[in-house]
Structure formats: C-alpha cells, structure tokens
C-alpha cells in the first residue's frame, strides 16, 4: 500500500513568523526579533512574500540533503517551510512549464553567503532536471566552473574567508523539456588592485597560495617558483594560512575541475605560467640613477627575477627591461621617449601585474564559456543567476567601493520597480482594485552618479581626459562646482554652507546619501584607478612574447594595429556593463535572495542585532514588507484555502461538492469575518490584515484538536471490537484443533496395532521361503564342485604333455646352433688372424649406419613446414650428419609445400607477410587476424541484386567491399556505410540505397591512424586543401581492420609509389573542418560487445572507450 502523503503548510509548526508580510505588529525591532528567534532555532530562511531572506549560519546544516531536494520538488512555494530550494523550484518550474525566462538576484555584503547561495541554486536545478549522459556532462561542466572561478577570483578578507572579488552573472540555457544545454558567464569589475596590495589581515587571490602549496616539485621547477610564501612581495604573510582551508587539496580540485570543464593540458600549463609570471613580477625592484642630462632614471637591482620571467613568457629580456625604464608617447607622427624614475617604474610594474592578471581572468571566463555554451541552435529558455558584491561601507572607501555601491543602487532601483510591477500585475490579474503605494525612489541617487552631463562618473571621465595637470583634488573641486546643490551630495568644500561646519568630513572626501545610508569616499586614487593606464611599451613587449596566451591577452601591442585613441575608462566600462545587466534583468522574471551576515566573527550561534539591523536597513527589507502589505498582506488560491480551513464549517466539511470560490464564500460567511478584511479575486482570496489569518489559524488548531478527539474515540471503539472478534475466532480455532488432535491419537493407536500383526505374519512367510531357497542353492553348489575338480584333472594332464614337446624342440634348436657356429669358426679362422680388427670395425660401422637409416625412415616427421619435431641423435659421432639431414629435409618439404600453392594463394600469403611487418608486436588485434583469411569482397556485390546500382556506378575492380561503422564527427554516434577500395579510389556508399556518399582518390589519403588496443577503430587522414577534405578526416570502426589497412597500404604503394604512413598510437589528432580534435583511447566496459564507444567531450577532445 502506498504511503499516504502528508501535506503541510508554511503556517504549520511555525517558529516566529515564516513570512514577514504576516508579522504583527510590523516594526524594525519586531523584524529583527523575528529573524533572531528563527536563527536561534536553525531556521535561517524567512520569506518576504516571494523574496527569500537568508542568514549565514557559519556551520553546516542538515537541510540540503537529496531527501530535502525531493521534499521541495514540484511543491507550491508556500506549501513548506521557507527554504532556498522552494524559490529555486518555483523559478525552475516557471521556466519549464510557463516558458518564462528567470533570473535569481543574490545580494548582500561580503560574508553573507551569496556564493554558497548561488551554488545551492545551481545544485538544486542540476538535481531536479533531466538525466542522461549528455545532460549530466553539461550539468557537471556548469557546476565545475565554480571552483575554477573561485580560485582565480576569490580571496580571504577580514569579513569572509572565500570572498568573491568580482561580480558574476551566469545564464543557464535549457531546452523545451527543461534539460540544461549550456551556459554563459559574465564577470564584472575584478578587484585587480588586490594582486599588488592587500589590506592587513587579508590575502591575495587563492590561486597564488594553491600553486605554492599543492603543485609538485617538478611543476614548481618548471614554473621557476619556490614553496616559501615569504619569497614573494605580492603575498601578505600575516594571513597566508587560513584555518580550515587546505590550499594543496583545493589546487588538485581546481586542476580536476579545469579538466572537466574542457581545458587542455597545454592550456592549463600556459595559465599557470602566467600566474607564476605575475607572482614573480612583484619581486622586481628598482634603484635610482642619474643621467648626464640631469634626468632621473631607474634600473633593475637584480636581473635574475627578470630573466626567469622572460624565460617563462618567452619575452626578450632587453625588450622588457627597456619597457620598465622608458615610456614612449606618440602624438600624430611624432614619438617622444622619456625615462621613468623609480616611482614611475614601480607604477609600471604594478600596472603590468594587474593588467596581466585581470586579462587572464577575462580570458578564463571566455574560455569557460566556449566549453559550456549550448552546442545546438534550438530555441532556448534562460535562467540567470546573479552573484554580485553587496553594499560596502568601510572605514576607508575608495573608487572600488564607489563603483560597487553604484551597482547596488541600480539593483535596488530595479528591485523596487519589479516588486511593485509584480504586485500591481497580480492585483490586475485577480481584478482587485490597485492603490498607489508611496516608496522612496532612488533614481535621484542613480542620476547623481550616472548622468551623462552632471553625473559623478561623467565628471571623473571629463577630468581624466582634459589636458593639463589632473589630480584627485581637481576632481573634487569639479564635483563641488557641479554637485554642490544636490540633496544627496555632501562635501567639506561644497558651496552649500550647511556643510562648512561639518568637521567629521575631511577636506579630501565627499559623502553620498545612498539608499542604504551615508557613505564617505576618499578621492585619493580615483583618477588613477579610473584611467587604469598601461604604458604602450609594456603592451608591445607583451605582444612580442613567444607565449601564445600572453600574446593573445595584449592585442593592442601589435605595431600594425596601433590605435592612438585613448582607451575607455574603468568607470565608463563598468557603467556600460551595469546598463547591459539591467536591460538583461528587466527581460526576465525576477527572484530575490537577500543574504545577511549575523556577525563579524564568522562564528556560529552569534546574532549581532546592531549588525543585522544595519543590513536590514540598507537592503530595504522593511520597505519591501511595507510594499507587500500596502494592499493585502496574504493571498492564497481558493482550492488551497478551502482545503486548509474547510473543517471550520459544517457545510464544507468533510467534502465540498461545488466550486472552490463558492465554498470559501460560505466558509467566511459562516465564520462572520468582516467584509473589509478580505476580497475575492479571480483565483485567490486576499486577506488584508494578518490578524484575520492568525484568527483562522487559531480556529483551525482548536477544530483539529476536536477532530483528533473524535478520531481517537472512534478508533478506540473499533480497536476493542476488533480485539473481541479476534478472541472469538481464536477460541473456535483452538477447540477445532483439540478435537482433531484427539482423533489423530486414536487413529495412530489402531494403526500401530495393525502394523504389528502384519509384521508377524510377513516374518513367518519370509522364513519359510528362505529355508526352501537355501536347500536349492546347496544342491546346485555340490554339482558345480564335482565338475570343477574333473576339469582341473584334465587340464593338468594336457599341460604336462605340452611342456614335454616344448623341451624336445628347444634341445634340437640348441644343437643346430652349436653345429652352425662350429662350421663358421672353422671356415673363417684363417681370416681373423691377419686383419680381424679392421674387418670387425667396418662390419660394425656398416651395421650401425644401416640401423641408423632404417630407424630414421620409420621416425620421419610430417611434411608440414611448421613441424619442428626431429628424431633424437643416437650416436655422438653422427652429430654433423644428423644436423645436415635435418636441414636438407626441411628445405625439401618446404619446396614440396610451395609447389602446391596457386597464384591466388601466393598473393594472400604476401598480404599476410605485409600485415606481419606492419602490425606484429604493435597492434593487440593482430594475433587474432593471423588465422583469418583475407577475403576482400565480403558483400559479393556482383551477385547481390540489391547492390546492382552500386555495381554499375563502380567501373574499376573492387579490392575490398565491406560494411563499416562511420563515426559522426559532431557527437560520436555510428552509422553503417559500405567501404569500397578500388585501384584508384576509396568510396563510401549508403548501406540501404547503395548511393555513393563520398569518393576519395588514393593520392589524397596521407595517413591511417589507429590505437594499439584490441579494437577496430581507425582514422583516414586526408590531404589538406583537397576536395574530399572539406568536412575533415574520416573515422571508422571495422571487424576486419588488419585486412583493410594492409590492402589500403599495398594499393596506395602500387598506385602512388609512396608508402602510406600507418600511425599506431593511443592518442592522435584528426582534422574536423577548421578544428584539430584529439582522439584519446581509454579502457571501459562495452555495452555492444567489442565495438568501441565514442563520446565527444568538448570541442577539442573525442574519447573512445575500448574493451
């Protein structure tokens, strides 16, 4: 029986208030107290309508298990307790079922858990979407892009051990079924100043420490690095180690993630070389020198570091050394070269390090996008996930904080606009009267920053571009002139007299009244950071590098493409990026996650009310609640409302047969709720005051207790009656068993008595029969004994007679032998006296040789040339004769064997010999092919009427006709094709229709590649630029690989007089259109017997799984 599903609600077993819209009374204190109460009970998620407020617990919680994923899957948003999975499921189902593009905006300050929240959203979507090999590969690549970006873009700060120092927006693309196809990542404003300088208590980017901790000694030697952190000036030493973080393990994780995403080994090596070069740039130091003309210039103190950097990057040492000492300025047709002093040289060094790392990070994002982008061109649905830095208010706020807070102003603006828009659309959709809601519109602050004429960014760009002396102070004076009267701008030197006495505002600062509060910015560094200049000499030096990656990072260094136009400033670039982001977000349905940091100690179970209150204010959460409560605080579909409260009315309990809206109307009339407290929409009931909802909940709770009592009463009665009936049935069963037992015992006694009587009678009969049989046996044995004795006597008499005859015959033979011996000795006695020894020797030798040849005749081996048997040598003096006879015999039987061959058989053995020279001890498949004859024409095209059309199309003699599996270049799938080899061409035809698909002249075939494994996979390489090479090289799989390669080799040699290159390797390159793809053979379990399985991993790798 299926387990009954128990439906719950947001209002069930609620700790505090799960939805802040229902908070009563609503104030800042009650808001904070409700968050604290839920946080103390490990409830870190709270709703504000459809917005999720997340508090970082700083400890693992058991609320992200696969069971939790299934619990929130395909459930209503308000059906379960607040959770980030509920918002993720709502966004995914809206995208999949309603065809609405989604975006999830995750905001909050550093350390609030934004990055972890984005990972949870992606992991949930990956868990609930479809399954399959290709889908799982896409999901794995999307998930594994996070460790790579975190290693290069995250760092330890005083607020967060894994702080994202860049903004990330990922568009995940889905097909019509909701399965992921790929993704696109956009990055915003990497904090590249961290490369050269870190605040106290913070670290540089993770990747620097991971390489030094986790790289092998061999890799460190190749990168010319040492494991000691103190050797590098760009690494802060006070926070080099982070508690709970193993940089060595993380480095291995990053390397594995890069491989999964699709980075080739040489690309990974190039990336690590660039990172090492950045790290070693910080060790270059300069010393001052005076020239003859009185100008100061700088020289490098120790050139060993410079030499190692040049060896890593492939740059001429003299070129890079000059770029650090001189600066060339071009104006129209003139070039002016000036020397750099020590301060300018250090600025150039740091600028190069920052630009090198920043461009490497942008290249990484682009490279990841190439791997994870959707391969198909079908219409896609998009879910965007925005993980961007939150509002920042530090003790010292500079250009980076100004840009970050500007981005948050834009996000707050779109948040308020979209929230009001969503609220208004729901009221209109439900036919509820819409009332205007007063709220603070921060458009005036955005205009102060981004206005094209009088905005702060425009003033900063204008100041950077104007001729003359430009400093941060002149920029501040410009702001004082233009923005003096703006109500959200304050400055000590402003013309507005009300700020002249504000001693808390230094002279070199200005203050902006943001939506989250006042922030004071120090203008020092604004102009330099906005310019973000890299001297053209350094760009050209980088472009001259032999390192392909570094050369690609500095395209402006190409002398042929010199552009004298000033590059766009950092502020204008970020402003354009934010505008593009806002435009993108406005086309999607928004979902919000507001992240809050409970304390600055990064410790669990600590809730700092002042810190949380500050974040609640600048996130505008209280204002968001007021917007949601301006009309109706709670709304719910009629079906769910009736299902939850139907027990409060006799007419609706237990079942309501009519429409759900009519049932809700009857319910509310029965409960006498005032009409001004609710309103009926098209599909939902709207409740104005949270007190009304809590009253309904109290009535429901009391009614549930009454229903529970009634259920208990009925259950107890049922249980007692069931027990009584069970006892009654048991008594009947026991009585029947007792009666049966008594009858069984009586029957057993009668049966045993009958058996005893029967046994006695059978015993008497058996003994009588036994006596009769014994008497008959004794009579037969007596007659047999008498006959045996008589036969024995007769046999002994005959034996004595035969022995006597034998003795007589033997005596005659002995006498005759002695007589013959006597006659011979008397005849030859005269000869033995003179040369008896020699005669005996020759006679003996003649007899031995005669015996040897007669034995050899009987022991000759078979006539098979491969039979290695030969009789053993009988005498030592016949050793040379014995070996010579063996050799002569082998040559003779080989000739006899060859004489049997026809011309066709000779051709076959020549091909077998050629195959042995090509594949023996190289290809594991070769031994199995030795015993198989080479037929060539496996399809018998001339006899099969199905291939008549193909036979007519091919005029030449067909050497091979075989069905092969052609491998699709895009996805690795197989298709059957007829492979034809003639004297001049290789043809591919369709197996069903016989239509010729491809025709390749033998002169265009350059090479055949295959693995050393026991598989039939091979690649036919074509000459570049030939007509047949339009789509690239061919990949095949055949059961007769050895025969096909041998015949192709012999035919090509015969026609072109050139040997065809046969490459046997477990990893080789093939050409697919314009791309070179690596074919790699791996061991794997085969579902289709010994047929290799091909899988396209990415744009540059094709894996072939062989048994």
pLDDT tens digits, one per residue of 982-993: 888 888 888 888
Can you give the pLDDT at residue 735?
92
pLDDT tens digits, one per residue of 76-109:
777 788 899 989 998 888 888 777 888 998 888 7
Can you give the pLDDT at residue 360?
93
Q: What is the mean pLDDT of residues 1003-1012?
A: 90
Q: Judging by beta carbons within 10 Å of its beta carbon (0-12, 13-18, 19+), is residue 703 exposed, middle or buried?
A: middle
Q: Please indicate whether residue 929 or residue 279 has the higher confidence score (pLDDT).
A: 279
Whether pLDDT at 8 is above 60 = no
Whether pLDDT at 199 is above 90 = no
Tokens representing residue 763 in the block: 């015993």
In 3D space, the residue among 290, 352, 296, 358 whose CA is nearest the CA of residue 321 turns out to be 352
Beta-strand pair 974-982/167-174? unpaired
Share of the chain above pLDDT 70, in %: 93
Helices (H), 859-878: none
Q: What is the mean pLDDT of residues 1030-1035?
A: 84
Q: What is the mean pLDDT of residues 788-798?
A: 87
In 3D space, the residue among 188, 143, 182, 154 whose CA is nearest the CA of residue 168 turns out to be 188
In 3D space, the residue among 984, 966, 950, 989 whose CA is nearest the CA of residue 1038 turns out to be 966
Q: How far apart are CA 764 and CA 231, in angstroms?
A: 115
Whether pLDDT at 7 is above 50 = no
Helical pair 609-619 and 621-629, crossing angle rounded to 10 deg: 60
Name 684's bridge partners: 637
Cβ contact 371:554 at 8 Å: no
Using DSSP's 3-state secondary structure scheme, residue 444 falls into: helix
Whether pLDDT at 448 is above 50 = yes
Q: How far apart are CA 181 and CA 8, in angstroms?
A: 35
Tell me the HSE value of 1008 on the side-chain side, using a 13 A CA sphere.
23
Global pTM value: 0.59
Q: What is the mean pLDDT of residues 245-255?
A: 91
Using DSSP's 3-state secondary structure scheme, residue 519 falls into: strand
Q: What is the mean pLDDT of residues 553-579?
A: 78
Q: How far apart are CA 51 and CA 78, in angstroms?
A: 12
Residue 647: pLDDT band by 50, 70, 90 thresholds? confident
In 3D space, the residue among 109, 115, 138, 134 whose CA is nearest the CA of residue 125 turns out to be 138
> Is the omega angle on the peptide bond into residue 579 within 30 degrees of 0, that is, cis?
no
Q: How far apart are CA 732 and CA 868, in angstroms?
A: 91
Can you give the pLDDT at residue 885?
87
Can you give the pLDDT at residue 148?
92
Whether pLDDT at 795 is above 50 = yes
pLDDT tens digits, one per residue of 683-714:
887 776 666 776 777 788 888 888 888 889 99
Residues tagged active-site:
110-111, 115, 160, 163-164, 390, 392
| Cβ within 8 Å of residue 42, ≥6 positions away | 57, 61
Name 331's bridge partners: 334
Length of the chain as a residue count: 1107
Q: Judging by beta carbons within 10 Å of its beta carbon (0-12, 13-18, 19+), is residue 945 exposed, middle or buried?
A: exposed
Note the Cα 774 to chain centre separation in Å: 92
Q: How far apart are CA 1033 and CA 475, in angstroms?
A: 62
Burial 339-352 (b: 16+ CB within 10 A, else e): bbbbebbbebbbbb
Cβ contact 185:224 at 8 Å: no
Q: How far apart are CA 608 and CA 899, in angstroms?
A: 102
Q: What is the mean pLDDT of residues 518-527?
A: 86
Q: How far apart are CA 294 and CA 272, in angstroms?
A: 42
Q: Judging by beta carbons within 10 Å of its beta carbon (0-12, 13-18, 19+), is residue 857 exposed, middle or buried?
A: exposed
Q: How far apart are CA 1107 and CA 1095, in angstroms?
A: 15
Q: How far apart are CA 293 and CA 888, in angstroms?
A: 100
Whether pLDDT at 496 is above 60 = no
Per mean pLDDT, which range of 207-211, 282-286, 756-760, 896-900 is the poorest? Answer: 896-900
Q: What is the mean pLDDT of residues 951-967?
A: 85
Can you give the pLDDT at residue 720?
93
Cβ contact 1036:964 at 8 Å: yes
Whether pLDDT at 497 is above 60 = no
Using DSSP's 3-state secondary structure scheme, residue 630 falls into: coil
| Cβ within 8 Å of residue 524, ≥6 positions away | 398, 472, 508
In 3D space, the residue among 331, 234, 228 whose CA is nearest the CA of residue 277 turns out to be 234
Cβ contact 908:933 at 8 Å: yes
Neighbours of 223 (CB within 10 A): 21
Alpha carbon distances (Å) from 631 to 585, 664, 672, 674, 689 = 26, 20, 22, 16, 9
Name 330's bridge partners: 335
Maximum average pLDDT range among 125-134, 371-380, 1043-1052? 1043-1052
Q: How far apart are CA 107 and CA 729, in angstroms?
A: 69
Cβ contact 63:71 at 8 Å: no
Residue 36: pLDDT band by 50, 70, 90 thresholds? very high
Cβ contact 517:618 at 8 Å: yes
In 3D space, the residue among 32, 35, 60, 33 whose CA is nearest the CA of residue 45 turns out to be 35
| Cβ within 8 Å of residue 275, ≥6 positions away | 207, 208, 211, 357, 360
Dmax (CA) of the chain: 167
Q: What is the mean pLDDT of residues 218-226?
A: 91
Whether pLDDT at 3 is above 50 = no
Tokens representing residue 1005 in the block: 């075939």
Can you give the pLDDT at residue 1?
32
Can you give the pLDDT at residue 413?
79
pLDDT tens digits, one per residue of 1060-1106:
888 988 888 888 877 888 988 888 776 655 677 888 877 788 888 88
Q: How far apart are CA 85 and CA 74, in angstroms?
A: 11
Mean pLDDT of the chain: 83
Tokens representing residue 87 in the block: 């918002």
Q: How far apart are CA 672 and CA 692, in angstroms?
A: 11
Q: What is the mean pLDDT of residues 314-341?
A: 79
Q: What is the mean pLDDT of residues 486-500?
A: 65
pLDDT tens digits, one per residue of 832-872:
555 666 777 788 888 888 888 888 888 888 888 888 888 88
For 913, phi then psi, to 5°, come to -65, -40
**Mind spelling out the 3-state secondary structure of 729-771?**
HHHHHHHHHHHHHHHHHHHHHHHHHHHHHHHHHHHHHHHHHHH
């Amino acid at each position: 029986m299926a387990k009954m599903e128990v439906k719950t609600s947001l209002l069930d077993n609620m700790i505090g208030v799960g939805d802040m819209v229902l908070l009563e009374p609503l104030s800042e204190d009650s808001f904070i107290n409700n968050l604290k109460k839920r946080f103390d009970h490990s409830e870190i998620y709270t709703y504000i309508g459809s917005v999720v407020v997340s508090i970082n617990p700083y400890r693992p919680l058991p609320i992200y298990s696969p069971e939790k994923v299934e619990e929130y899957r395909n459930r209503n948003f308000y059906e379960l307790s607040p959770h980030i999975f509920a918002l993720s499921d709502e966004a995914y189902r809206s995208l999949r079922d309603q065809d609405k593009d989604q975006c999830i905006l995750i905001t909050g300050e550093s350390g609030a858990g934004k990055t972890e929240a984005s990972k949870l959203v992606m992991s949930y979507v990956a868990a609930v979407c479809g399954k399959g090999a290709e889908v799982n590969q896409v999901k794995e690549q999307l998930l594994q892009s996070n460790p790579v970006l975190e290693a290069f873009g995250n760092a330890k700060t005083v607020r967060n051990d894994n702080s994202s120092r860049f903004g990330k927006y990922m568009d995940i693309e889905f097909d019509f079924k909701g399965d992921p196809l790929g993704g696109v990542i956009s990055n915003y404003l990497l904090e590249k100043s961290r490369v050269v300088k870190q605040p106290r208590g913070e670290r540089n980017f993770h990747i620097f420490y991971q390489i030094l901790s986790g790289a092998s000694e061999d890799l460190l030697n190749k990168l010319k690095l040492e494991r000691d952190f103190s050797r590098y000036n760009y690494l802060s030493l006070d926070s080099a180690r982070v508690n709970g973080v193993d940089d060595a393990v993380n480095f291995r994780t990053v390397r594995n993630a890069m491989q999964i995403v699709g980075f080739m080994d040489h690309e990974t090596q190039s990336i690590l070389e660039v990172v090492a070069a950045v790290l070693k740039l910080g060790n270059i130091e300069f010393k001052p020198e005076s020239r003859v003309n009185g100008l100061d210039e700088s020289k490098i103190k120790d050139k060993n570091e410079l030499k190692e950097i040049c060896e890593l990057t492939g740059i001429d040492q003299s070129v890079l050394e000059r770029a650090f000492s001189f600066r060339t300025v071009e104006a129209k047709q003139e070039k002016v070269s000036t020397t750099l002093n020590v301060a300018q040289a250090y600025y150039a060094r740091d600028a190069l390090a920052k630009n090198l790392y920043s461009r490497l990070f942008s290249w990484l994002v682009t490279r990841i996008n190439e791997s994870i982008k959707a391969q198909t061109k079908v219409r896609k649905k998009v879910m965007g996930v925005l993980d961007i830095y939150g509002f920042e208010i530090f003790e010292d706020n500079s250009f980076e904080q100004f840009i970050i807070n500007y981005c948050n102003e834009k996000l707050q603006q779109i948040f308020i606009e979209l929230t009001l828009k969503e609220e208004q659309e729901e009221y209109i959709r439900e036919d509820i009267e819409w009332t205007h809601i007063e709220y603070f519109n921060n458009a005036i602050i955005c205009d102060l920053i981004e206005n094209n004429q009088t905005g702060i960014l425009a003033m900063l760009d204008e100041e950077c571009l104007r001729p003359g002396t430009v400093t941060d102070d002149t920029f501040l004076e410009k702001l004082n002139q233009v923005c003096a009267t703006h109500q959200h701008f304050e400055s000590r030197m402003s013309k507005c007299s009300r700020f002249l006495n504000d001693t808390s505002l230094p002279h070199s600062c200005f203050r902006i009244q943001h939506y989250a509060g006042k922030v004071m910015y120090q203008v020092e560094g604004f102009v330099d950071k906005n310019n973000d200049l890299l001297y053209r000499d350094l760009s050209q030096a980088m472009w001259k590098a032999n390192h392909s990656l570094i050369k690609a990072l500095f395209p402006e260094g190409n002398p042929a493409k010199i552009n004298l136009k000033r590059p766009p400033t950092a502020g204008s670039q970020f402003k354009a990026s934010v505008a593009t982001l806002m435009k993108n977000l406005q086309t999607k349905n928004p979902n919000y996650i507001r992240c809050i940091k409970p304390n600055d100690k990064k410790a669990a179970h600590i809730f700092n009310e002042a810190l949380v209150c500050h974040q609640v204010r600048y996130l505008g959460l209280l204002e968001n609640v007021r917007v949601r409560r301006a009309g109706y605080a709670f709304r719910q579909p009629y079906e769910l409302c009736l299902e939850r409260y139907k027990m409060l009315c006799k007419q609706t309990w237990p079942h309501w047969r009519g429409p759900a809206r009519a049932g809700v109307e009857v319910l509310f009339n029965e409960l006498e709720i005032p009409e001004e407290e609710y309103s009926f929409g098209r599909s939902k009931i709207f409740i104005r005051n949270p007190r009304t909802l809590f009253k309904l909940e109290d009535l429901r709770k009391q009614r549930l207790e009454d229903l529970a009592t009634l259920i208990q009463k009925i259950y107890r009665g049922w249980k007692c009656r069931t027990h009584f009936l069970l006892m009654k049935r048991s008594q009947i069963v026991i009585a029947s068993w007792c009666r049966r037992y008594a009858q069984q015992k009586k029957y057993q006694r009668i049966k045993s008595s009958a058996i005893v009587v029967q046994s006695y009678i059978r015993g008497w009969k058996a003994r009588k029969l036994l006596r009769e049989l014994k008497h008959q046996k004794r009579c037969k044995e007596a007659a047999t004994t008498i006959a045996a004795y008589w036969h024995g006597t007769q046999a002994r008499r005959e034996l004595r007679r035969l022995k006597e005859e034998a003795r007589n015959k033997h005596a005659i033979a002995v006498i005759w032998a002695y007589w013959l011996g006597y006659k011979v000795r008397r005849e030859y006695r005269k000869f033995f006296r003179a040369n008896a020894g020699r005669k005996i020797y020759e006679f003996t030798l003649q007899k031995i040789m005669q015996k040897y040849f007669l034995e050899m005749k009987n022991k000759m081996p078979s006539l098979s040339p491969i039979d290695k048997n030969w009789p053993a040598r009988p005498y030592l003096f016949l050793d040379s004769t014995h070996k010579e006879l063996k050799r002569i015999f082998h040559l003779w039987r080989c000739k006899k064997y060859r004489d049997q061959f026809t011309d066709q058989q000779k051709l076959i053995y020549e091909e077998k010999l050629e195959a042995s020279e090509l594949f023996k001890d190289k290809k594991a498949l070769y031994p199995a092919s030795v015993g198989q004859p080479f037929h060539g024409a496996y399809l018998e095209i001339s006899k099969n009427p199905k291939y008549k059309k193909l036979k007519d199309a091919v005029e030449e003699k067909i050497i091979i006709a075989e069905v092969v599996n052609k491998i699709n270049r895009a996805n690795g799938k197989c298709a059957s094709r007829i492979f034809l080899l003639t004297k001049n061409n290789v043809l591919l035809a369709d197996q069903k229709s016989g239509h010729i698909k491809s025709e390749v002249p033998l002169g265009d075939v350059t090479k055949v590649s295959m693995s050393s494994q026991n598989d039939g996979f091979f690649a036919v390489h074509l000459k570049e630029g030939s007509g047949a090479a339009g789509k690239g090289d061919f990949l095949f799989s055949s059961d007769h690989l050895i025969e096909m390669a041998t015949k192709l080799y012999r035919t090509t040699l015969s026609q072109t007089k050139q040997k065809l290159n046969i490459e046997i390797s477990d990893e080789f390159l093939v050409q697919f259109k314009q791309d070179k793809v690596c074919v790699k053979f791996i061991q794997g379990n085969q579902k289709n017997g010994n047929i290799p399985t091909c899988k396209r991993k990415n744009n540059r790798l094709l894996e072939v799984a062989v048994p």
